[in-house]
């Protein structure tokens, strides 16, 4: 698995690109939303690298259980669970790598973090 930033894409060994459901992480300044000056995104390379490192620690070398809930560009939007049973979205929020993206949190029926 390879990690772009905390909300994805996560590149799985089988070639599938996953966008983590319900969260928004800081983006690299070279990303499309940042190049378009979309004010809904945090565009900061240092923050994006920090969130990328946190996400990598959480997922690399682990078998995630991901359930598709939608599509975004050429990615599968998925609700993923870590091997210990925790929601990846909630773990990213708790670790400070991402924040809850309320519209999509509701759309994908993410529930509450424990």
Which DSSP state fits 99? Answer: E
How much is the pLDDT for 31? Answer: 85
How much is the pLDDT for 36? Answer: 82
β-strands 2-3, 23-24: how paired?
Answer: unpaired
Question: What average pLDDT is seen over the chain?
Answer: 92
pLDDT surpassing 90 at residue 76: yes
What would the mean pLDDT of 78-97 be, rounded to a whole number? 97
How much is the pLDDT for 33? Answer: 79
Identify the CA nearest to 91 among candidates 21, 31, 40.
21
Alpha helices (runs of H) in the chain, residue ranges in sequence order: 32-35, 45-59, 88-94, 102-107
Q: Each residue of 3-59: pLDDT tens digit? A: 988 998 999 988 999 999 999 999 999 888 788 876 778 899 999 999 999 999 999
Q: Distance between terminal CA atoms of the chain?
A: 26
How much is the pLDDT for 5? Answer: 86
User: How would residue 87 be classed by pLDDT, with cut points 50, 70 and 90?
Assistant: very high
The distance from CA 102 to its chain's CA centroid, rounded to whole angstroms, is 14
How much is the pLDDT for 63? Answer: 93
User: How would residue 2 be classed by pLDDT, with cut points 50, 70 and 90?
Assistant: confident
**SS3 state of residue 85:** coil
């Amino acid at each position: 698995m390879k990690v772009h930033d905390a909300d994805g894409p996560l590149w799985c060994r089988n070639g599938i690109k996953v966008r983590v459901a319900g969260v928004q992480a800081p983006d690299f300044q070279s990303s499309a939303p940042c190049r378009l000056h979309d004010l809904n995104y945090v565009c900061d390379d240092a923050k994006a690298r920090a969130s990328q490192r946190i996400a990598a620690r959480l997922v690399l070398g682990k078998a995630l259980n991901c359930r598709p809930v939608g599509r975004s560009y050429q990615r599968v939007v998925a609700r993923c669970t870590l091997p210990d049973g925790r929601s990846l979205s909630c773990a990213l929020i708790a670790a400070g790598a991402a924040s809850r993206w309320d519209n999509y949190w509701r759309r994908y029926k993410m529930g509450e973090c424990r």
